[in-house]
Amino acid sequence: MPVLRSRSGPSRRSRFAAAGTLLAALSLLLTLPGAASASGTHDTAAAAKKPERGTATMGMGVVAHDGQGGLPRDTRAVQTEGVDVSGHQGNVSWATLWNSGVKWAYTKATEGTYYTNPYFAQQYNGSYNIGMIRGAYHFATPDTTSGAVQANYFVDHGGGWSKDGKTLPGVLDIEWNPYGAQCYGKTAAGMVSWIRDFVNTYKARTGRDAVIYTATSWWQACTGNSASFGSTNPLWVARYNTTVGELPAGWSYYTMWQYTSSGPYVGDHDRFNGALDRVQALANG
């Protein structure tokens, strides 16, 4: 008697084999580079590379964007050695730095309106107690709150000033955004307006013009190379090379120069453009 064959298609075993092949192909596709991004899935590996909010430090983007050359040439010009520190350094041995010739220091006080340096008291008071002329700096995040709000936060959390001969005016650290787009999503005009808001508020609170810390290439890219601040705000320029190089528009000279992030004892070393009595003059206003 002839065997009757089903007209319903492939056998169950064949269907399972085909389904298994399809699942394997889909699994392989999803593991290919770029597959997650193409499908709209969040790239957790890329996100993990961004630092946590609050961890930004003065000059952290300089090497990546401007490179790094040699140490400053000996020009015989009188300069005074300084350092800048943040929570990254923890408790600093100020006696060691003092004995090495460092005579002034800046400590990170705040960032945005969400961070204060947990080591601020040890660093700010420790440098003062050893005999240094000291000051505080604020790492700006123009994409989070206004310049005025951040200036007030800075003054309220260690960024104030007193005419005691040993306290320098506060610093606005405005540079590459470590958390996103380098200009914080602002146009050049918007960035200039934000900076103006900060420095005007700082002066209203303290009576002093804030120092502006920046790198020339960032300033050119993100402010359109604005010349609006050179007549009022001292310049602290970042460049890790043998010379200070081109300055941002509006400044014919620099007051301070951050010249390396790999100096002795603490990484960030700086030079004040003048003798110690000029550092004292800036402290006194």
Active site residues: 84, 173, 175
Give the three-class secondary structure for 65.
helix
In the block, tokens 């089903």 appear at: 6
Closest of 238, 211, 215 to residue 225, by C-alpha: 215
Residues in the chain: 285
Q: Which two tokens stand for residue 258?
A: 């951050």
Beta-carbon contacts of residue 279 (< 8 Å; ≥ 6 apart):
80, 82, 103, 104, 133, 168, 272
Cβ proximity of 180 and 186 under 8 Å: no
Closest of 155, 147, 259 to residue 205, by C-alpha: 155
**How many whole angstroms separate alpha carbon 285 and alpha carbon 112?**
26
136: β partners = 107
**How many whole angstroms separate alpha carbon 243 and alpha carbon 49?**
32
Please work out, in degrees rounded to the nearest 5, the angle formed at the alpha carbon of residue 255 by the alpha carbons of 252 and 258. Answer: 110
What value does the CA radius of gyration of the chain take, rounded to a whole number of Å? 27
Residue 155 neighbours by CB distance under 10 Å:
21
